[in-house]
Amino acid sequence: QVQLVESGGGLVQAGGSLRLSCATSGRTFSIYGMGWFRQTPGKDREFVAGISRSGQSTYYQDFVEGRFTISRDNAKNTVYLQMNNLKPEDTAVYYCAASNAGAGYYDSDKYNYWGQGTQVTVSS
């Protein structure tokens, strides 16, 4: 079992930055690929970014457009999402997730564990 707890969300003006963190506990963090997803009311949860077990490979959804960076610190059992140049359309609840699949980072079905989410609100 893996527990994930997100933090770092909040209210920011357009063009601003936030850094989300996802602290994990339970089984060995380094065996899991990690991902960030987001969801707005009435819409499906969508992939934002993913990172491999070692951190050597990263994956991004097109709408990120170079604004977000995913990283992980296996010594701290934590994954991060640095979000810069935020836009109002980035407003959502952001979730981190852990996957032991080793592939398919874009697919939410590949993830075994999910956090409770953290709200990000970007004002115009």
At 26, the pLDDT band (50, 70, 90 cuts) reads confident
Report percent pLDDT > 90 for the chain.
Answer: 87
Structure tokens at 71: 């990283």
Mean of the pLDDT values across residues 82-111? Answer: 94
Structure tokens at 29: 């963090």
Cβ(40)–Cβ(30) below 8 Å? no
Cβ(16)–Cβ(86) below 8 Å? yes
Q: Which residues fall within 8 angstroms of residue 119, CB to CB, at 6 or more apart?
A: 9, 10, 92, 93, 94
pLDDT of 29 > 90? The answer is: no
Q: What is the mean pLDDT of the chain?
A: 94
